Structure 1
């Protein structure tokens, strides 16, 4: 049963990393290459869509890692799992404090109501997102190492 939890948790976190990596290095680059302000409108739609899913994915991943840490507390990789959990908790805190506020504003923007600094705000979101990706990649790496 523990092995199933370990593998399932690793897959769930790995998929989350893949989605976030894709957003940063594929989807946003495609959107930013669109003419005029189309990219911001695409990001707003993506923010609404992924904004509804990602809180469950992040919290669910954190819960799965916590369950793994408790169930496998006496295993050789327990410290790695606990550290991965701490990194995932950091990613949730980063999301709530840094990324979600910008995303919530962006979801509401239209060509008529965007602030003058909308491009700078999206660039700021991107910078925070790159840091969050590094954090969740580190967590994923620790989980894979604990699994091995």
Structure 2
């Protein structure tokens, strides 16, 4: 049972890392290179789509890591999983305090109603997102190390 939980947690967090990495280093660069208002519209659509899925994914990853800690408390590598869970908490707090407020505004923007500083707000979101990606990559790395 513990082995299945370890594998499921690692895969769920790993896929989340892959999605967030691709948003940071692939999708947003594609959106930024699109002509006229296409990039802003693409980001707004992505904010709506991923904004609906990612909260469940982040909280679910944290719950799975917590269950791994509880189920494997006396197992080798538990300290790594505790640290990974702590980093996942940091990622959730960052999301709620820094990224979600910007996303909630930007997902409603159109070329007609976006604020004058929309590009600066997107750049701020990107900077926070880069840090969040680094945090969840670190958490994923610790989970993988705990399996070894």
1:107 matched to 2:131? no
Q: 1:75 offset after TM fit, Å?
A: 0.9
Aligned residue runs from structure 1 range 52-67, under 5 A:
52-67=52-67
1:75 matched to 2:80? no
Q: 1:129 offset after TM fit, Å?
A: 0.2
Q: Distance in 1 between matches of 2:24 and 2:135?
A: 14
**Structure 2 match to 1:136:** 136
Q: Distance in 2 between matches of 1:78 and 1:45?
A: 39
RMSD of equivalent CA atoms: 0.5
Q: Distance in 2 between matches of 1:15 and 1:24?
A: 14
- Please, which runs of 5 or more residues in structure 2 have no aligned partner? none
Q: Distance in 2 between matches of 1:142 and 1:110?
A: 40
Q: 1:105 offset after TM fit, Å?
A: 0.5
Q: Distance in 1 between matches of 2:80 and 2:91?
A: 16
Q: Distance in 2 between matches of 1:5 and 1:76?
A: 15
Moved segments of 4+, more than 2 Å? none
Q: Give me the TM-score of the superposition, normalised by structure 1.
A: 0.99
**Structure 1 match to 2:38:** 38
Q: 1:119 offset after TM fit, Å?
A: 0.1
- Please, which runs of 5 or more residues in structure 1 have no aligned partner? none
**Structure 2 match to 1:120:** 120
